[in-house]
Amino acid sequence: MSSLTNGVSRIANSPIALGVLFAVLILVALAWSTTPSNAPDLPGPRGWPIVGSLFQRGTDPADTYHQWSKIYGPVFRMRLGNRWIVVINDAESGEELLGSSRYGAVFQSRPMPHTLGKLLGNASKKAVTLGTSPYDSMLKGKRRLAIASVSPAVSRSYDPVVERAAQYVVQSLEKASKNGSGPIDPFPIFFDSAAVLNLTVICGASVEEASVLLKDSPFPMKRLGQVRNINGHYRDFLPFLRILPDSKMFKEALAVAKYRNGRLTSLLDRIRRLTEEGTAPPCAVASILRESREDIPDDSLTSVANSMVSSGLDSHMPNTLLWGLGVLASNKVIQQKAYDAVLHQETLGDAMNIDSDNYLFAFVKEIGRYFNTFRLALARETIGKDLVWNGHFIPEGTTVYCNTHAMNRDPSRFSCPDEFRPERYMDGPESERTMPHYGFGVGRRNCPAINLVHKELYAIYKSILLNWSLDIFDGEREFDAIRGCADGLEFNQAPKAYRISLTVRDQKKLT
């Protein structure tokens, strides 16, 4: 007993020993407080104490999960801080769990990470997009309206608007080529043009109005996407970090959310008035207002509009355009095939009525599959009940990642999946599928605008190819979805920087 007392006394009198003891107690407390309960019964990486696999994901988590699936199986679990995550990596499991009538309802909600929840709480309900909303009865009604407004039949009426927005891209590139001494940086042009495209097609703004509407944004629009990043922020997984002050990025995202809400509200108020008068221009919001059987509250309408324009304002549309432009400029064979397809389509007299034999339209689909800028679809959360799937227990409230990057490389769905080959969509099993790839998600929470987005991409590439031949001037040349990615940790993956050279095909036809 005396030896124990002496030991305690020595520790009490030693600052170093006290510090070590305190650190050990802190680590034990952190390990206890961050250990999630009710783990899914699936294989997966072991992870470290406290942080789990948070620091094992590498610089490109989607590709890391793809590689882990070859070790642990197509559906595995991992621990990120205080949360268990189930990751789906193959097409069969994704379609069964997320899209089937048997399991789909369990996987139709979204988790609300701490950072995103705090942003939305501060920015108002208007900033809540359909993609990030947990499941409830209101979400179901909003999605129904959004889906109806981008159906192939309805979106046909937007074709003239899409064509005008595509010409804005041409004008922007022409201006840049005249003002500069040669090479063009397409990145700012495409981000600006994608915003114009979405604001005109979705909210009914004129091209001229849309081109200046967001020019005075206090910070880059992609700040909102960075807050929604599925790769998360450390404080989403490690609660003890929430005592720290908000980051500069978060404060900027909050300012952008409030700014964007204000700009959209002014557009939507006008479209609501014009719709009542019967003079609204063709656009998705006007379609929603006409089709709705009851009055839509302002918050709900702004939320739906935020959802539909976010891909063009945050990163998806411009990044997809940039990957495709780079491939066209760096590969003369592909560029010539695409140009020939455009010329053939022009002779048919209906430039937007695109059939399956069109090489450029197949190219658009392959860009979405191969580069897939949303490599990890927005997270799901199981609701309603615990689940047993193939003998594996998945508890209610589990966060689920759908690795669409891996699914788009599933050899059971795509022949030679690691090859960029547009022809797959012109002949063979890939050309016969309703959903050509998984870049728009799977199941009940997938993005319904795939047909409209494909037409928008096609219209922009078509307009560029009709006016110029393209060459890579400097920067990125490989355009591999992994090695050519600027930052695999981003919410939405862009290519590394590059510049292009434009050669006018016919100066008389340049519009």
Residue 310 burial class via C-beta count within 10 angstroms: exposed 0-12, middle 13-18, buried 19 and up: buried
109 phi and psi angles, rounded to 5 deg: -100, 175
Q: Which helix (H) or strand (E) segment is 141 a member of?
A: helix 137-149
**pLDDT single digits (tens) 52-107:** 999 999 999 999 999 999 999 999 999 999 999 999 999 999 999 999 999 999 99
**Given pLDDT bands bounded at 50, 70 and 90, which one contains residue 180?**
low
Assigned superfamily of 26-504: Cytochrome P450 (1.10.630.10)
Which pLDDT belongs to residue 243? Answer: 92
**Given pLDDT bands bounded at 50, 70 and 90, which one contains residue 8?**
very low
End-to-end CA distance of the chain: 94
| 432 and 130 Cβ atoms separated by less than 8 Å | no
Single-letter residue type at 287: S
Asked whether residue 34 carries a pLDDT value surpassing 60, the answer given is: no
Write down the domain spans for the chain: 26-504
Asked whether residue 29 carries a pLDDT value surpassing 60, the answer given is: no
Residue 35 burial class via C-beta count within 10 angstroms: exposed 0-12, middle 13-18, buried 19 and up: middle
Measured distance CA(103)–CA(97) in Å, rounded: 5
Single-letter residue type at 503: T
For the ranges 6-20, 189-203, 353-367, 380-394, the lowest mean pLDDT is seen at 6-20
Which pLDDT belongs to residue 32? Answer: 44
Pick 363 or 246 by higher pLDDT. 363
3-state DSSP call for residue 192?
helix
447 in a known ligand binding site: yes
**Given pLDDT bands bounded at 50, 70 and 90, which one contains residue 209?**
very high
